[in-house]
Amino acid sequence: MSRHQAYRNYDYENDLDEFEGDDGIEDEEELSPEDRAQMDVGTAQVRTALGTESSKVTTQQIQEALWHYYYDIDKSVTYLTTKFIVPLSKKKGARKGEAREQHVSHASFFDDMPWLNVSKDRQTIFIEPLRNRGGLLGGASTPSKMSKLQALAAARKKKADDQKSEEKLRRVTQHLGNLSTAPELPESTKENVRPLCPSPGEVEGLTGAGKTIIPERASFEQVQVSDKRLQDQPEIANQLVQPLPVTASSPLLVATPSSFARALLRPTTSSAASSPKTYSFPYMNVTSSSTDAFSAPSPDDVVLKAQSQASSKKAAAPATKKKADPGAKSAEATTDGVNSLRIDDAPLPKSKNLDVLKEFQKTQSKKSASFVVVGHVDAGKSTLMGRLLLDLDVVDQRTIQKYRKEAESIGKSSFALAWVLDQRSEERSRGVTIDIATNKFETDTTSFTILDAPGHRDFIPNMIAGASQADFAILVVDATTGAFEAGLKGQTREHSLLLRSMGVSRIIVAINKLDTVGWSQTRFDEISQQVSGFLSATGFQLKNVSFVPVSGLLGDNIVRRSTDAAAGWYDGKTLVEELESSEPMARALHKPLRLTISEVYRSTQSPITISGRIDAGSLQAGDALLVQPSGEKAYVKSLELDQEPVDWAVAGQNVVIHLSNIDPIHIRVGDIICDTKHPIACIDTFTVKILAFDILMPMQVDVHRGRLHAAGQIVEMPALLDKVKGTVTKKKPRIVKPGSVARVVVKMGTKVPLEAGQRVVLRSGGDTVAAGLLE
Ligand code: GDP
């Protein structure tokens, strides 16, 4: 495949012409013999696919299309059909149809719309309600008659309301008594001084010379000393609501209002044509001000003064004032809160100073391995794992029966087994596994951890997290006719590529649902062959790949051998036997500690408990650890393995760690716990050797490593590499084609804990575009 083809395939010719010069199809020099041969085969295939229509296109058009679509026959045929064949027939048809179009009736225009073709039996029948319900629902103007009981309740409520408003009125009047102006006011002025809100009787006609101006709409209901604190401190309340003295000789003088103001405020007298006019505020509950509005302290000043008085009083007599002063109370509460936020300064946990590796060698009786289950959505992964756990007696029949009943009640009876793994109700109702549910089981020789990876496309990041922890993988393939082919085009391929890039080298292929094809050996062989070819092309060694024909639903060849006579031809291992014969990956026991946090939570043991798989090294209770990227130190208070307290844990184990002496804000899912003496560095730029799944160029990418992910950008592509030898085949390529191996430099927006030897996945627009190893 020439470089030019890849460019054309991805429609980058405009950009690339600039760099590469014009290298179109007519430039025969560019076609390698391999290309020429492929072009000839492609041309013939396109002609066959076009059938009788093939005469409508020229060979050059076909070859241009093949060139453009990188020998993709389907795409080329679609392009040629839409570009050259359909337009022709459309043009002919268009002329014929023109006359007809004018006669299309309006009724027939909607003929193909589904709502016109709803059969009678499926149409809704509206049943009239027996009686009007009143209000919005019934739409009747008169509500239905009240029952006696309702009438009694309504009367009681009315009485209580009346009592409440009387009480309110009494309280307000009492406050108003306090609202008199300062006592030093001369007697003559006093008669013109009015409280903030007069009695309703006084309101009418209170304008003009000699009268105090009162807001038209003001009423007693509108004046409420609602603030609880003010009710508690009447002296402040009085100051706050004290009205400004308004005298008869000083009516409100205002400039001629704008039209907006006129719309907003209405004149209080219709006859007052002469200026100055007085205006009331019908739409706002405000008081008119006097001419000398700034003679008294502003409300803010009053509050500030009151506060400073309160605080000085508190300082003078803190013990006696405590109860009466709600401000003091809240300050105290805040101090308490701050105290409770103090970093845990508990004594450091003690260490037993064990030689962990020696302890590990002593106790190692059983192998332990974790595996990931991948495959296309609906391939039957969860059902298969549910069956495995059921047949190994990890879950009992009663639980399965319960799930069966629940599943039947929502019409998905076949999901009962899958629910063993899909434990969360959200997953159940969707029928899709969306998180790594960690399930454990043991056989005579090995203890296994299932990291169930989801099959749904959106959940690939979870699968990456699962795959990065797995020793090996079970690839579930749906043998149902058509389903395998669809799966291979879809997630089966992407998952296998991901597995390889995440460092998984052993795969057990469970060819599932063979019951649906009558245990056909031919189908099994056909699928095995195709998957083998594909996996070896992806980089798996076939000695590490095995195939088992199974039925997850019925349990054949999973723990027990199939008893179906039609499956008699298979005498290989069952799935469990294959699992047991899989060697766990060598553990990095002697390396510095590295653990990627997969969960952070609060437990009875500690306010900060984390869990995750130890990628490298070991740890024991009492150890000091470093959390990256926060760089904070923490101590191991205690440890748990499989819900049992332990003193130590080593690489490869999924451990729960109760931490102490660290604030939870410094720990997040995806962070790395490491050795304090050999900490992992936080970097924002790294070089990675990747396998491209899609076309790569300097572009935005999301960097995933286990549960960690960060936004980044490919900033440089120093070299294309030989897939097998890893030698440089081309320096500074402008793009990297799918399937190629390259060295690229990625820069991230933030510093994250990453180091050489780790595997990362690059994603873009929701698709995995590359995966590889940090250099
Ligand atoms: P997942 O999305 O890969 O986890 O698939 P599920 O385990 O949810 O299964 C999808 C559907 O396939 C369910 O309706 C299962 O009952 C069905 N299924 C799973 N395994 C088998 C099998 O071995 N035989 C048959 N006939 N159906 C199966």
- pLDDT tens-place string over residues 658-687: 998 888 889 988 899 999 999 999 999 999
What are all long-range contacts of 78-86, with beta carbons under 8 Å and residues at least 24 apart?
A: 80/46, 80/50, 81/50, 81/53, 84/56, 84/57, 85/50, 85/53, 85/56, 85/57
What is the pLDDT at residue 420?
Answer: 62
Distance CA 127, CA 129 (A): 6
Instruction: Say if strands 367-375 and 472-478 run parallel, antiparallel, or are unpaired.
Output: parallel
How many Å lie between the centroid of ligand 1 and the Cα of residue 375?
Answer: 12
Q: Is the peptide bond before 276 cis (omega within 30 degrees of 0)?
A: yes
Using a 10 angstrom Cβ sphere, with 0-12 exposed, 13-18 middle and 19 or more buried, the burial of residue 426 is exposed
Instruction: Determine the atom of ligand 1 nearest the C-alpha atom of 552.
Output: 23
**Does the pLDDT value for residue 207 go beyond 70?**
no
Tokens matching residue 414: 């076949």
Closest residue by Cα to atom 19, ligand 1, is 380
d(CA 57, CA 301): 89
Q: Please, which residues bridge with residue 640 across strands?
A: 645, 656
Rounded distance between C-alpha atoms, residue 633 and residue 624, angstroms: 7
Q: How far is the CA of 390 from the centre of ligand 1 (A)?
A: 15
654 pLDDT band, cuts 50/70/90, is confident
Pairing of strands 741-753, 767-774: unpaired
Separation of 478 CA from ligand 1 center, angstroms? 9
Q: What is the pLDDT of residue 412?
A: 63
CA distances from 184 to 180, 188, 189, 413, 562 (A): 11, 11, 10, 88, 107
Handedness of CA 546, 548, 552, 557 (dihedral sign): negative
Looking at residue 570, its pLDDT comes to 94
Q: Is the omega angle on the peptide bond into residue 629 within 30 degrees of 0, that is, cis? A: yes
CA 418 to ligand 1: nearest atom: 7
**pLDDT tens-digit profile of 719-744?**
999 866 678 999 999 999 987 889 99
Pocket probe mutation, ligand 1, options 382, 388, 400, 414, max atoms within 8 Å of Cβ: 414
Average pLDDT of the chain to the nearest whole number: 70
Q: Is pLDDT above 60 for 136?
A: no
- Spatial separation of the C-alpha atoms in residues 377 and 453, rounded to whole Å: 10
pLDDT for position 747: 95
Provide the pLDDT confidence category of residue 36 given band limits of 50, 70 and 90. Answer: confident
What's the gap in Å between 379 CA and the centre of ligand 1? 6
Ligand 1 atom nearest residue 377's Cα: 2
DSSP letter (8 states) at residue 37: H
pLDDT digits (tens, 9 = 90+) for 469-518: 778 899 999 998 777 777 666 677 777 877 877 778 899 999 999 999 99
pLDDT in the model for residue 711: 92
List the beta strands (DSSP E) in 631-675. 632-641, 644-646, 648-650, 654-660, 672-675
Is the pLDDT at 379 greater than 70, yes or no?
Answer: yes
Q: How confident is the model at residue 704 (pLDDT cuts 50, 70, 90)?
A: confident
Residue 308's pLDDT band (boundaries 50, 70, 90)? Answer: low
Give me the pLDDT at residue 772, please.
Answer: 83
CA distance 521 to 529: 12
109: its two tokens: 């225009």
Specify the DSSP class assigned to residue 568: T
What angle, rounded to 10 degrees, do the helices at 148-178 and 234-241 form? Answer: 80
Radius of gyration of the chain (CA): 40
Could you tell me if 745 and 761 are in contact, meaning their C-beta atoms sit under 8 angstroms apart?
Answer: no
Ligand 1 site residues (CB inside 6 A) read: 375, 377-383, 414, 418, 431, 433, 455, 512-513, 515-516, 551-553
Question: Count of alpha carbons within 13 Å of 354, Cβ hemisphere only?
Answer: 20
Q: Is 276 helix (H, G, I), strand (E, B) or coil?
A: coil
Cβ–Cβ under 8 Å, residues 400 and 416 = yes
- Lowest mean pLDDT across 3-12, 416-425, 476-485: 3-12
- The contacts of residue 248 (CB under 8 Å, 6+ apart) are 192, 209, 210, 211, 212
Whether residue 717 contacts residue 698, with contact meaning beta carbons closer than 8 Å, is answered with yes
Count of CB atoms situated within 10 Å of the CB of 14 = 8
Kindly report the backbone phi and psi dihedral angles of residue 477, in degrees, each rounded to the nearest multiple of 5, phi listed first.
-120, 135
The b-or-e profile of 224-235 (16+ CB within 10 A means b, else e) is: ebeeeebeebee
